[in-house]
Amino acid sequence: MNEELILIVEDNDDDVLMIKRGLKKGKLGNPVHRVTNGAEALEYLNNNDNLSKTKLILLDLNMEIMNGFEFLHRRLDLPKVKNIPVVVLTSSIRENDIQKAYDLGCNSYVEKPLDPKKFIEAILSIENFWIYFSRIPEVS
Ligand SMILES: [Mg+2]
């Protein structure tokens, strides 16, 4: 069984549907867990079982309670969480946002494609690269 979990941090249900649709088209069949803001993501990852199976975080920026930037910032103090690659997936293409996300250590920054086909293509590429080809340290 594939235990490599993708954590989706996204407050928009439609975008979550698109992400799940994309992942379903992929060949890897990774389980996903969805939370709606950064605080919930930190809470989820504050559990060793959850932490050890999470191999990728797809992070929205604009969210209530705790946005993506604050999540990126807080995870810098959490060595084990810091190892998990974070792909920012957002509709913002403001240069400031892109710079800030990289300053806070995101691994990739992807604009949510408006075209559904391209959205799915983006998700498949992300999954393929970050789950299939990339390696991260194991959580002990
Ligand atoms: Mg949002």
Would you list the domain boundaries of the chain? 5-133
Residues bordering ligand 1, an ion, CB closer than 5 Å: 11, 60, 62
- Of 65, 106, 119, 47, which is closest to residue 33 (Cα–Cα)? 47
Judged against a pLDDT cut of 80, whether residue 140 lies above it is answered with no
For range 105-110, the mean pLDDT? 97
pLDDT per residue over 49-94, tens digit each? 999 999 999 999 999 999 999 999 999 999 999 999 999 999 988 9
108 CA → ligand 1 middle, Å: 17
CA distance 71 to 81: 11
Ligand 1 centroid–CA 8 distance in Å is 12
CATH of 5-133, one of 3.40.50.2300, 3.40.50.1820, 3.30.565.10, 3.20.20.140: 3.40.50.2300
Q: How far is the CA of 83 from the centre of ligand 1 (A)?
A: 24
Mean pLDDT of 112-137: 92
